[in-house]
Every structure is written in C-alpha cells, then in structure tokens.
Structure 1
Amino acid sequence: MQEKIKEIADRVRELRELSEISVEKMAEYLQVSTETYEKYESGTEDISASILFEIAHRLQVDMATLLTGEEPRMNIFTVTRNGKGVSVERRKQYRYQNLAEKFIHKKAEFFIVTVEPKPQGTKPDTNSHPGQEFNYVLEGSLKVYIHNNEIILNEGDSIYFDSNYEHAMEALEGESAKFLAAIL
C-alpha cells in the first residue's frame, strides 16, 4: 500500500507543477495547512478520497488519472466487472473500489467502500469535502456520523448529504460493512 500512496503522491506533485500551482495555493484551495499538503505530496501522509477528488478537480483531471496514472478514454459507456474496479486503500478505516475509472469527464465518482470494524469505543476520523454524497448500504450495518448526528443504516438503507459537513462511517456489530458511494 505504501508504494501505491507514493505513486499517487508523485502524480499529484507532477501535475500540480505542470499546472503552475504553488504548494501554498493548493493547500489553501484544499483548506489544509501547507505542512499537511507537503506530506501528501511526499507520500508520508495518505490522501483521503475526498481530498484526492478535490485535487483532481483543481488540476482539471479525472480522479482516475491520479489513482492509476492513465487517462480515462471511454465516453459512451464503461463496464466494471465484479471485483475488477481499481482498488485503493486510501485510509486505514476504508477500502475504496472505483467503479467507473475509465469514463472520461464524469460528473460524479462511484465507489464500493468497505469499512472494517474498529475496536469498541473508538470513533472514526471524520472528513469533509465540497459537494454532495450518496451512500447505499450493500452489506452489514453502518453508523454514519454527520454534523453532530449519528444515524444507523442497515442493508438497503441509504443517505444523501452535503459532504461539506464533517462525516464518517463506522461498521457495526463487529462485522465489516460495504456501501455504494457516489460523490458529486
């Protein structure tokens, strides 16, 4: 996983430099400190999917370009076979599988996200990002933390929310949970 993080970090740095955007301007755009952003580009700190989504937007590239190093080419349709999406362990608490990385100029990003259970009493780290997000629970149960609320979702339940607000997901009952996420 560390090698993959370094590859993504290198692509981000190279594209930022080619776009003639300073580290300071990118950090300001992402609303993180310059030090944190420099850790992203050095590969010493993992970049969350939501931050990666924003970096791609700022650099005017598809998120798949940052994840895989390849430009998406499909413009009519793309098919992702079961279990064949680009898998990325972006954060320790979540595993993402991109479901449409080959489609160019997407208006949203689609992922299957797996959340592993954490030790009891441990609250997950929150994140936020511009836009909106839709999550549909495929397996297991989740506790969703958003804007001072805790919502329990079970298989078949969904939530749509303003992702500018701090949010996180926690797998319940000691079992992993899986959900479909659409980030708009």
Structure 2
Amino acid sequence: MENIDIGKKVEQFRKAKGWSSRELAKIADITPSMLSQIERGLANPSIQTLKVLAKALDVPTFSFLLEEANTEELVVRSNQRKKMMIDNLTYELLSPNFTGTLATAIMKVPPNGSSSEKLLEHKGEEVAYVLEGKIKVYLSNEEYILETGDSVKIPPYMKHKWENNFSEHAVILFSVTPSIF
C-alpha cells in the first residue's frame, strides 16, 4: 500500500473537474485548509471525509485507495515472454504474469499434437483465435475444425480439447478468466 497517495488522487479528480481547491472544499463542506493538507499529504482524511469527497467528485470512494500501477510492469516485450513447454505444446504468456483474473497466451500445437489425451474442463471462461494453421477443437460431444481467422468461446466447465491432425503447426491466441496457469 506504499504506492497510494490519496491526496494526489483527490487533486487529480478535482483538476479533472476543473475546480479550484476552494470550490471542492465548499461542495464537500470541509475547510479549504483541510483539503489543502489532504492534497499535499500532510493530513490523512477519515473514511467519512473520503466519502464526502468521493460524493462531491462523483467517483467511487475506493478509487482513492487503489494502488498506482507501475506501467513498466504492464508491458511484455516479445523477446521477454514467459514460455512453457507442456508435453508437445508450447505456451507463450502475453500477460505480464499470472496474477489478476485474466491471462492471455499463444499456444503452438505441432502436427499430430494435442492439448491432452482426454477432454478436460476448468472453471475459467476461454476465448481462442486461430492465428495460423488449422486445428480441431472438441467441445463436449462435438468436433469443429477451426482455420486461420476462426475463433471459439468455451464456457466455464465445458469439456474440451485441442488436436492438430494436420501437416502444419497451429498457433492459437487465447484468453482465459480466471487465469488457470
């Protein structure tokens, strides 16, 4: 929680509204000096004061308490992706890490390769897009051949499996929530 600067966030929301400190203080019914101290980090506002400021600024109270993201950690360079080999499959993680509720990866399935021996299920919802080649996807009791440009949505707990019975590699971009890696 060391990255949280409540005062800076109050000031940012105030400036986004185009208000002076005095205008916000009047709307929120707090003293201008108290608001100034909060914005400069010299005073910690009570929960009640945060609620009043949030209402005046028309933002959720929790928005003052969100940690600042280090944007450098959000960028994944193509040569720095986390790579995993599971049996004959290669996965490249496009998400920065395994935290959060969404993971996006590229799965490469070689000819005569498959994601598993039998149909598997997981609690995550999945959307996949075929970047290259073609692949057979099993969804419950049905089979579909997906070609480059095709996509599929796999609901939570639906049994499924990927299988490449073709002569070229299949490259699949997929996102899953929550992250299952």
TM range (shorter): 0.5 to 0.7
Of 129, 136, 140, which residue of structure 2 is paired with 1:143?
136
Q: Which residue of 2 aligns with 1:176?
A: 169
Question: In the alignment, does 2:100 pair up with 1:130?
Answer: no
Question: In the alignment, does 2:145 pair up with 1:152?
Answer: yes
Q: Which residue of 2 aligns with 1:95?
A: 90
Q: Which residue of 1 aligns with 2:74?
A: 78
Amino acid of the structure 1 residue aligned with 2:120: N
Q: Say if 1:86 and 1:98, in contact at 8 Å, map to a contact too.
A: yes
Q: Which contiguous aligned blocks of 4+ residues in structure 1 show a shift greater than 4 angstroms? A: 73-77
Using the aligned pairs only, state the percent identity.
Answer: 30
Work out the CA distance in 2 between the residues paired with 1:169 and 1:159: 12
Amino acid of the structure 2 residue aligned with 1:143: K
Structure 2: which 5+ runs fail to align? Answer: 1-67
Structure 1: which 5+ runs fail to align? Answer: 1-72
Q: Say if 2:135 and 2:166, in contact at 8 Å, map to a contact too.
A: no
CA deviation after TM superposition for structure 1 residue 154, in Å:
0.6
Work out the CA distance in 1 between the residues paired with 2:143 and 2:70: 39
Q: TM-score, normalised by structure 2?
A: 0.52
SS of residue in 1 equivalent to 2:74 = coil
Q: Give the structure with higher Rg (CA).
A: 2
Of 86, 101, 106, which residue of structure 1 is paired with 2:100?
106
Work out the CA distance in 1 between the residues paired with 2:82 and 2:143: 30
Q: Could you list the per-position Cα deviations for residues 60-111 of structure 1 after superposition, in whole angstroms to 9, with x for gaps in the alignment?
A: xxxxxxxxxxxxx96546122224310001x3142111111348x5221110
Work out the CA distance in 2 between the residues paired with 1:177 and 1:167: 17
Amino acid of the structure 2 residue aligned with 1:180: L
Q: Say if 1:117 and 1:176, in contact at 8 Å, map to a contact too.
A: yes
Q: Could you list the per-position Cα deviations for residues 27-81 of structure 1 after superposition, in whole angstroms to 9, with x for gaps in the alignment?
A: xxxxxxxxxxxxxxxxxxxxxxxxxxxxxxxxxxxxxxxxxxxxxx965461222
Question: In the alignment, does 2:110 pair up with 1:116?
Answer: yes
What count of residue pairs does the alignment treat as equivalent? 107
Q: TM-score, normalised by structure 1?
A: 0.51
Work out the CA distance in 1 between the residues paired with 2:79 and 2:171: 13
